[in-house]
Structure 1
């Protein structure tokens, strides 16, 4: 009996080792073949199995995902849907990859807007010339008891950089920002020089974390939401993040 148990354990270990070797071999084959056939892919950041046997997820450029067979002979672009559970597995994966730990945000490069008790936290990346950002700012005014960390993110052209500089160099950044975004009061020219390195760091941070549009919201639990979402959705996500 003892010998049978030992044999069963040995077979189980061998099976596990074989599975590991197969997975490693599959990843190596995929990296080799895709690298040769698609030299424009500078670097494959991750290869991992999917719930479908023989199908692998390949990740490049931070959170860009596609799927291949275990030899890298066939490539699929699109979304993987778990029909039974009614879940978009690709979107869930992208959302997870795009999360940014709130405590890793360079909050020194943002200015604060505090409403009510300010207990809840929200970071927002916005361009002063973004129409959707102006729409969002009007929605955000109805959200109370929150501290908003506003990251100026001038990505829409030279004038965005000028306006961001004028807002950042103003005596009351939060008021100047609100006056422009909500009331169309143009920020005055900040002739007096100030250190605007924060704006360059914001741009670099956004590129690193694939922030491609404004506004982009980051909640305290790391979840990220793009676009001018309504106040009701902001409230819902703030409540979820607080849990």
Structure 2
């Protein structure tokens, strides 16, 4: 899949042009399918046919005729309007050199993250931030720890960092018991001074064991829903992903480019 993606992009982004990469000026306009209740039911049945446990989160007309663009189980797929076919992978506009799934993913992430209350985040922010990013993090992840070492520099650059919990081990082990990292992150989120406990955990100091009503499991599941598969995952104000470990300068440049 990675090699195919590189080959497709190379064909259109190379130093020479191919007529196949240009949109046909005389092409007929594409009529987008309507998202009716019947269409929603059809798509849900198609997805459930693969697995009864997959939740369909978003259904939109696809940028290509005859298909719906669907976000389900942290993946983007394309389901034909007759429910017979499903495609998984990147949809590339050869004329514009764009991945047509990116915009839909960004909108979906932005909308879902807006539902997370500020009180459930661990926030490191300057007095008047120019930008705010959301970071799904694990307190024991090496790159997550390296990123947090620069949090003061991020803030100095005008970037607020809002952390959400994403224990890479998951919430429970195969035995059904809570994983060590999940338990540790619950203790951080339940600490009287969450920011201090969070920073200490990033430095390798386990927090004092604590339990309370906490959002750690919900945030882990939200990450899965948004396609998170590793930490750190940085999401910009518009819902786009901005990478994993980045330096303050790299993150600032990415945010400036996207604004």
Do these two structures clear the TM 0.5 threshold for a shared fold by scoring above it?
A: yes
Q: Pick the aligned partner of 2:251 from 223, 234, 239.
A: 234
Flag the 1:56–1:152 CA change in 2: closer, same or farther, 3 A: closer
> Hey, what's the Cα distance between the residues in 1 that align with 2:40 and 2:213?
45
Q: Within 2, Cα distance between the matches of 1:77 and 1:186?
A: 42
The residue that corresponds to 1:187 in the other structure is: 206
Contiguous gaps of at least 5 residues in structure 1: 1-18
Aligned-residue CA RMSD in angstroms? 3.9
> Residues 72 and 225 of structure 2 are in contact (CA less than 8 Å); yes or no, is this contact kept in structure 1?
no
- Paired residue for 2:197? 176
Deviation, structure 1 residue 141: 4.2
Matches of 1:228 and 1:99 in 2, distance apart? 21
Q: Is the 2:186–2:214 Cα contact (8 Å) retained in structure 1? A: no
**CA offsets per residue over residues 5-52 of structure 1, 9 Å max, x none?**
xxxxxxxxxxxxxx78xx45999689659947972255765252434x
Q: 1:11-30 residue pairs with structure 2 within 5 A?
A: 23=33
Correspondence for 1:90 among 90, 101, 125: 101
Return the index of the structure with the highest Cα Rg: 1
Query: C-alpha displacement at 1:197, in angstroms?
Result: 2.0
What is the CA distance between 1:209 and its match in structure 2?
Answer: 4.1
SS of the residue aligned with 2:59? strand
Structure 1 or 2: more helix by fraction:
1
Cα distance in structure 1, aligned partners of 2:224 and 2:43: 29
Shift of residue 105, structure 1, vs aligned partner: 2.5
Is residue 59 of structure 1 aligned with residue 70 of structure 2?
yes
**How many angstroms apart in 2 are the aligned matches of 1:91 and 1:116?**
32
- Partner SS for 2:200: helix
Mean CA deviation greater in 207-216 or 80-89: 207-216
CA distance in 2, matches of 1:57, 1:194: 43
Unaligned regions of 5+ residues in structure 2, if any? 1-30, 171-178
1:159 aligns with 2:180: yes
Count of aligned positions:
216
Looking at structure 2, the residues matched to 156 and 164 of structure 1 have their Cα atoms a distance apart, in angstroms, of 11
Q: Does 1:138 align with 2:149?
A: yes
